[in-house]
Each structure stands twice: as C-alpha cells, then as structure tokens.
Amino acid sequence: MRFRLAALLPMALALQGLARAQAPLPYRFLLVIGDQWKDPSSYIIEDGGEFQIMAALLKSWGLPFDILRLDQQRLDQYHLLDRDGRPRYGTIIWDAGPGGLQDKGLALVPELVKRYGTGLVILGDTVAAPEISALAGVRYVSEFDSPDTLAATGMHFITRGLDGRERAFVPEDKYLPGNKTVVQDATVLMKRGPHPFLTVKEWNERITPQYLKSRYGSWHVSIGGPIALHRKL
C-alpha cells in the first residue's frame, strides 16, 4: 500500500507542475477526507490506514497541504477560493468515500477543475460518487473480484516512470476486489484485465481526470484538473 501511494504523489506533483505552466496556481495541496480522522479536535493522526499514510507522505516530503474533513466542514468558497476568487490550492487530493456527500458543496469542484485546471486526486471508492466520476469521464457500475494484474495500454508521461512496475500494484494469482466502471469520455492508459484502471480526460486542452482501479480501488488522474486513486478499503 505504501508503494501505491508513493507512486501516486509524483503524479499529483506532475499535474500541479503542468497546471502552473498553463496558468499560475498555488503550490499547495488540499487533502479532503470523510470521517477517518478520529480526533475531533484535528490534532493527532494515530489510526492506521490510507489517510494516515497520505498525510505522512505529504509531511515527510515537505509538501505544503491542508486537510478538510467533510464530517465537520464543507467544500465552500471560504475553504477553496482566496479573496480574489482564485483557487487556494493547485491540487485537491480526495480521500473521502462516496457516501454522505449531500450538502457538502461539491458543486464548486467541477468549476475548479474545468475553469482553473485544478488537479484532483481521488482515492478510495469515490468513483461511486457520480459528481466525482463525471469529472474523470467514467461511470461506476459495481464492485468485482478478479485475479488480473495491471497492464499499460499506451505511453504517457504519468505512467512512463513506472517502467513495468505496474504489476506490483496487484499480486498475481490472487482474487482481489475492484470497481467496475464504463469509460464514457476518457482515454484508457492502464487496464486490469478487461477493466479500465487508469484513464485520462482532457478539459479545454487540459488533461484532467484519470482513473485507476485495483483491489485497492481505482485511480482517476487529471492534469489541469483531477487525479484520482480509487481503492477498496
């Protein structure tokens, strides 16, 4: 799991670098979570899991980031825009599940992705949330179990650093769950068997969401827009 998340963050950095080249965006990340943070005062992160690992990676790599917890906050303009109405973050890392998103202000996220080119990295099973999967150009269908490993379908700057190591994401000869999706408006860069694992979408000449899925879920990555890793927890 640490390898998977460690492989994800360079993608987020690449997206933010491209976004800066296209239009100036803050070099700062927003980590969005659900109810994973057990400390109501938001001081101590001590439970294991994806959220703890992601926060530790961002901290140890010296990347500037804030955490927004949807069990206490909303994705409103106060948190996402500065005084001039510009994005406060160059990349949003989404680690909140698909449930409980009503009245959380998700309507602002598509504007940030499409209009400003904000990067979006989606972790876990958020692909089941239509508001998020639409940005990646995919539609969630169901969960599945499969022994298939990963295979790249083409060359892209996001995947070229893997250099064949994508097979390490999914152990061979072991049935593991994932998320079945239908690609609607995206290009598939990696597959797990017949299922899309990594896709890329372009918004106004900006590469936007990508979608990966494995036993640990799937990823959506977008340049000038969202990145998303969806994994089953």
Give start and end residues of each alpha helix (H) in the chain.
2-22, 50-60, 77-80, 108-111, 130-136
pLDDT digits (tens, 9 = 90+) for 174-215: 888 887 888 888 888 888 888 888 877 776 555 544 444 433
Span of 54-68, 79-93, 136-150, 219-233 with lowest mean pLDDT: 219-233
A 10 A CB-CB count for 189 gives 22
Domain, as residue range, for 185: 2-231
pLDDT digits (tens, 9 = 90+) for 40-60: 888 888 777 778 888 888 989
CA 148/CA 178 separation, integer angstroms: 10
Total domains present in the chain = 1
pLDDT digits (tens, 9 = 90+) for 58-117: 989 899 999 999 989 988 888 899 888 889 999 888 888 788 788 888 888 988 888 888
Contact 226, 119 (CB under 8 A): yes
Q: Look at residue 18 in the predicted model and tell me its pLDDT.
A: 52
For residue 149, the Cα-to-chain-centroid distance in whole angstroms is 20
Residue 196: give its domain's CATH number.
3.40.50
pTM of the model as a whole: 0.74
